[in-house]
């Protein structure tokens, strides 16, 4: 939570400034090519909205599993003499190992979901680059644009999607942070037994 709080404001300000500046430069270079690329931005947000509940659920599962596993270890460490007397060390060790294997499984599912999200975003960026190269080549051959303008536009297209990708990464981190915050609140609200 502290790590997210330290990075969030800086990332949001940087992403906003770079996005606006890149968009203005792209519009200055070629309005038709900019208008051809801009419809892909809502696709970014659509992908994000489709992945949001999945990422949130996976992050919550991982945090809850980690909390349970740490709780089991704390119980075991607090009851070492009793476990020795009862000869229950092996069953408690197996219980702890099972809890941590569940955490690893939840983390693996979370990472796979985040990877699928990242691949989807990268695919959209690749489509934008192909669109720019195709339109730019056509306009260059037709004499409507110079080669320097096409190359510059290509560079700015990748830069306009870069802040969006940074925002998506911030979003994934924010979901992990929110899962951590929900877990902290859940623990704080728990009545002692």
Q: Report the C-alpha gap between 74 and 103 in whole angstroms.
A: 16
Q: How does the average pLDDT of the chain come out, rounded?
A: 81
DSSP 3-60: HHHHHHHHHHHHHHHHHHHHHHHHHHH-HHHHHHHTTHHHHHHHHHHHHHHHHHHHHH
Whole-model pTM above 0.95? no
pLDDT digits (tens, 9 = 90+) for 123-160: 888 888 888 888 888 988 888 888 888 888 888 887 77
- What backbone torsions phi and psi does residue 70 show, to the nearest 5 degrees? -65, -40
Whether the pLDDT of residue 2 is over 70: the answer is no
């Amino acid at each position: 939570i502290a790590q997210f709080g330290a990075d969030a404001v800086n990332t949001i300000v940087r992403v906003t400034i770079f996005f606006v500046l890149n968009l203005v430069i792209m519009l200055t270079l070629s309005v038709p090519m900019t208008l051809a690329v801009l419809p892909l931005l809502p696709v970014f947000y659509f992908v994000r909205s489709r992945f949001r509940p999945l990422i949130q659920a996976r992050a919550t599962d991982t945090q809850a599993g980690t909390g349970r596993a740490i709780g089991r270890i704390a119980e075991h460490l607090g009851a070492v003499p009793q476990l020795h007397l009862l000869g229950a060390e092996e069953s408690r060790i197996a219980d702890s190992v099972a809890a941590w294997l569940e955490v690893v499984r939840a983390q693996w599912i979370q990472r796979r979901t985040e990877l699928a999200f990242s691949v989807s975003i990268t695919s959209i960026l690749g489509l934008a680059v192909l669109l720019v190269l195709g339109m730019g080549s056509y306009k260059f051959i037709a004499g409507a644009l110079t080669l320097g303008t096409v190359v510059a536009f290509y560079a700015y297209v990748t830069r306009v999607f870069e802040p969006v990708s940074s925002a998506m990464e911030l979003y994934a981190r924010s979901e992990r942070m929110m899962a951590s915050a929900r877990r902290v609140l859940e623990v704080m609200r728990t009545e002692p037994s």
